[in-house]
């Protein structure tokens, strides 16, 4: 038998993300903890309509290793209550005020598609606008630039906010969805830079489950390395999503292991920011993958180096 010669690994890497003076890259992946100021989030374990509950969740996320905290005031899906822009402001701004005062160096992100909400939140030390609805409000990216925040560019297949995907199609080739994601994210990132957001503050997110069936989400996840080739840091928001539940046949409360498996795959393929409900577990997974890849050194080496 011929013994094969070991081959050097060529792993995908993206430029660093720089927010609030912190740099995140392959050697220092970022965990984005989720705080939902809602009564109807799809995951009951992350409903913090009460401000004191949200404050406790913030402390827990930071203690567990969150680098970024992403607060949202409206459920993403079409189920649940209607929330006006003013109600959204009333939900997220007191939290942001508290978070900034309590953790001056923490990167704060706002999950919104409304420019007026981002404008108001920008008065309270906001670092990142997480536009999960792909520029539905074209003014949002300009607000991010004016307030000095970064922006997350997303892909929803053209669906408007709070639309659940049903029988979505992209073409006969299974890779057509990947092509659409790549085009949309490239266009969104270019628009953000043209609006005045520095490239080092632009993230791209394929936004699995949004405008996608489970089959679409799985093929896009497999092609995370292609997203990395666009030249921007890649965010993967995988936590407890329906594509995990449908893949394993489990409900939301039983999706942690599937989420972590998807997280490890995405990290290996070049994603560096991970939006998560389960911060501690995600922190350990992404740090371990970074170490396996050779991008991050072990914390200790008792057995020698």
Judged by average pLDDT, the poorest of 20-24, 41-45, 243-247 is 41-45
pLDDT value at position 41? 87
Once rounded to an integer, what is the mean pLDDT over residues 15-38?
Answer: 97
Nearest to 91 by CA among 41, 51, 60: 51
Check whether 258 has a pLDDT greater than 70.
Answer: yes
Judged by average pLDDT, the poorest of 109-113, 115-119, 298-302 is 298-302
The domain spans of the chain are: 24-293
Once rounded to an integer, what is the mean pLDDT over residues 91-107?
Answer: 97
CATH architecture of 24-293: Alpha-Beta Barrel (3.20)
For residue range 122-143, what is the model confidence (pLDDT) as tens digits? 998 899 999 999 999 999 999 9
Residue 1 confidence class, pLDDT cut points 50, 70, 90 = confident
Once rounded to an integer, what is the mean pLDDT over residues 232-252?
Answer: 98
Phi, psi of 16 (to 5 degrees): -70, 155
Check whether 42 has a pLDDT greater than 90.
Answer: no
For residues 7 and 220, which has the higher predicted lDDT (pLDDT)? Answer: 220
Enter the DSSP assignment of 270: T
Mean pLDDT score across all residues of the chain = 96
For residue range 266-304, what is the model confidence (pLDDT) as tens digits? 999 999 999 999 999 999 999 999 999 999 999 998 877
Q: Classify 110 as helix, strand or coil.
A: strand
Judged by average pLDDT, the poorest of 54-58, 228-232, 272-276, 297-301 is 297-301
pLDDT value at position 305? 64
Alpha helices in the chain (DSSP H): 51-64, 85-102, 115-121, 140-147, 176-195, 214-222, 224-228, 242-248, 256-268, 279-293
pTM over 0.85: yes
pLDDT value at position 88? 97
Once rounded to an integer, what is the mean pLDDT over residues 24-38?
Answer: 97
Check whether 229 has a pLDDT greater than 90.
Answer: yes
pLDDT value at position 301? 86
Pairing of strands 30-36, 68-72: parallel
Once rounded to an integer, what is the mean pLDDT over residues 165-178?
Answer: 92
Residue 191 confidence class, pLDDT cut points 50, 70, 90 = very high
With beta carbons less than 8 A apart as the criterion, state whether 47 and 40 touch.
yes
CA torsion sign for 13, 145, 112, 43 is: positive
Once rounded to an integer, what is the mean pLDDT over residues 231-253?
Answer: 98
Residue 249 confidence class, pLDDT cut points 50, 70, 90 = very high
């Amino acid at each position: 038998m011929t013994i094969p010669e070991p081959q050097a690994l060529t792993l995908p890497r993206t430029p660093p993300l720089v927010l609030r003076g912190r740099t995140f890259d392959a050697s220092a992946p970022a965990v984005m903890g989720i705080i939902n100021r809602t009564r109807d989030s799809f995951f009951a374990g992350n409903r913090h309509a009460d401000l004191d509950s949200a404050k406790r969740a913030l402390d827990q996320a930071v203690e567990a290793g969150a680098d970024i905290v992403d607060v949202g005031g409206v459920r993403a899906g079409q189920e649940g209550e209607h929330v006006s822009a003013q109600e959204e402001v009333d939900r997220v701004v007191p939290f942001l005020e508290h978070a900034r005062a309590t953790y001056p160096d923490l990167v704060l992100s706002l999950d919104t598609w409304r420019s007026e909400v981002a404008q108001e939140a920008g008065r309270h030390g906001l670092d990142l606008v997480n536009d999960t609805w792909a520029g539905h409000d074209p003014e949002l990216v300009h607000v991010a630039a004016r307030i000095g925040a970064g922006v997350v560019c997303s892909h929803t297949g053209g669906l408007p906010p709070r639309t659940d995907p049903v029988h979505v199609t992209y073409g006969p080739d299974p890779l057509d969805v990947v092509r659409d994601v790549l085009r949309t994210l490239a266009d969104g990132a270019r628009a953000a830079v043209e609006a005045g957001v520095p490239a080092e503050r632009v993230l791209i997110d394929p936004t699995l489950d949004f405008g996608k069936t489970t089959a679409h989400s799985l093929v896009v996840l497999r092609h995370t390395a292609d997203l990395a080739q666009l030249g921007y840091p890649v965010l993967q928001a995988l936590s407890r999503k329906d594509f995990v539940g449908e893949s394993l046949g489990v409900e939301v409360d039983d999706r942690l292991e599937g989420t972590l498996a998807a997280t490890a795959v995405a990290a290996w393929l070049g994603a560096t920011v991970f939006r998560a409900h389960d911060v501690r577990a995600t922190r350990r997974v992404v740090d371990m993958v970074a170490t396996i890849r050779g991008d991050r050194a072990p914390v200790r080496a008792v057995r020698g180096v």
